């Protein structure tokens, strides 16, 4: 059993045949929210055991996301899902079922015990709201039904476009900290020019940009964020998108007088 520091936040158990694309989107969304994700890509065949797969996932993760689909139920037995539910109850409501391409009655026909767990429906159109529900459960450690199974309106995070002049080469999913920035359109925070970045290992990347008069926000706490998209990466310049908690951005002043000129 791995120690707590090495465990993932969630694992995702799903059938490759009919859930690959939606799981790909969900994984990226969870990663841009800062969660560590472990995927279990199942190709069901004679003798495969979902329960064994789930057990392995739980040994490496705090929570398990089970994507219920037609392919996921092929070749499995009710006793496997009974074991899954027992694990869920024993370990304290740690399984988060998602329905993809099937409804509750379909799940009930194949596994009444699994259907008894609170679930949410996931499609390619609501991945962000489902990811928000998962994020709330993992980070607030709140396993009540008013957090899971009711759905969420909107995201907890906002996308911000970042420009950086300097030798910084981010990857999607990287956790970074923006310790200072310039902002052409203060107090709008949709586009920023970062002037100093720390990567997740604490390595500092100062900007080489100089001389342009812009507004700059002086902050007491840096902006912690996750890289969600890459536009341009070349020597001495990076343009990318990050996800930042909306509540963190809302803490920043919208009064232009609180910003100073370089």
* pLDDT score, position 240: 96
Residue 213: what pLDDT? 38
Q: According to the model, what pLDDT value does residue 42 have?
A: 54
pLDDT of residue 180: 79
84 belongs to a structural domain: yes
Q: Does residue 147 sit within a domain?
A: no
* Residue of 52, 56, 78, 80 marked active site: 80
Task: Give the residue from 112, 140, 168 where a domain finishes.
Answer: 140
The pLDDT, as a whole number, for residue 259 is 59
Same domain, 28 and 123: yes
* CATH, residue 41: 3.40.50.10140
Domain span at residue 206 reads 157-261
Average pLDDT along the chain, 262 residues, taken 10 residues at a time? 70 85 91 83 54 72 87 71 72 85 92 85 91 86 54 73 92 88 67 88 86 50 87 91 85 65 52
Identify whether residues 183 and 119 lie together within a single domain.
Answer: no
Tokens 């994700």 locate to: 37
Whether residues 227 and 181 share a domain: the answer is yes
173 and 131 share one domain = no
Query: What pLDDT does residue 21 have?
Result: 93
**Pair of tokens at residue 79:** 């006793």
Residue 169's H or E segment, with its range, is: none
pLDDT value of residue 231: 94
Based on the structure, what is the number of domains in the chain?
2
User: Is residue 15 located within the same domain as residue 133?
Assistant: yes
- Check residue 44 and give its pLDDT: 45
Please, which residues have CB within 8 angstroms of residue 182's CB and are 6 or more apart in sequence?
192, 193, 195, 209, 212, 214, 215, 216, 262
Domain-located, residue 56: yes
Distance CA 33, CA 51 (A): 28
One domain, residues 215 and 162: yes
Residues 121 and 15 placed together within one structural domain of the fold = yes
| Buried/exposed code over 57-86 (b: 16+ C-beta within 10 A; e: otherwise) | bbeebbbbbbbbbebbbeebeeebbebbbe
Residue 77 lies in a domain: yes
| 80 carries an active-site annotation | yes
158-187 as b/e: b if 16+ CB within 10 A: bebebbbbbebebeebbbbbbbbbbbeebe
Task: State residue 88's pLDDT score.
Answer: 74
Q: Clarify whether residues 177 and 253 are in a common domain.
A: yes
In terms of domains, do 41 and 119 share one? yes
Q: Are both 81 and 169 inside the same structural domain?
A: no
Same domain, 18 and 127: yes
């Amino acid at each position: 059993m791995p120690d707590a520091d090495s465990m993932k936040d969630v694992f995702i158990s799903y059938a490759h045949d009919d859930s690959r694309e939606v799981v790909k989107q969900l994984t990226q969304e969870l990663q841009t929210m800062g969660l560590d994700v472990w995927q279990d890509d199942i190709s069901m065949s004679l003798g495969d055991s979902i329960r064994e797969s789930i057990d392995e996932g739980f040994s490496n993760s705090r929570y398990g996301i089970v994507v219920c689909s037609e392919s996921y139920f092929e070749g499995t037995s009710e006793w496997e899902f009974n074991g899954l539910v027992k694990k869920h109850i024993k370990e304290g409501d740690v399984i988060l079922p998602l329905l993809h391409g099937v409804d509750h009655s379909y799940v009930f026909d194949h596994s009444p015990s699994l259907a008894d767990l609170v679930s949410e429906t996931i499609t390619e159109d609501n991945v962000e709201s489902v990811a928000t529900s998962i994020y709330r459960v993992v980070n607030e450690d709140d396993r009540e039904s008013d957090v899971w199974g009711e759905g969420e309106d909107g995201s907890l995070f906002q996308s911000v476009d970042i420009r950086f002049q300097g030798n910084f080469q981010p990857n999607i999913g990287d956790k970074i900290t923006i310790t200072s920035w310039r902002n052409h359109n203060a107090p709008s925070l949709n586009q920023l020019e970062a002037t100093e970045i720390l990567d997740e290992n604490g390595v500092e990347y100062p900007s080489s940009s100089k001389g342009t008069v812009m507004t700059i926000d002086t902050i007491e706490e840096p902006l912690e964020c996750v890289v969600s998209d890459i536009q341009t990466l070349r020597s001495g310049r990076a343009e990318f998108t990050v996800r930042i908690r909306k509540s963190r951005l809302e803490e920043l002043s919208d009064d232009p007088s609180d910003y100073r000129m370089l």
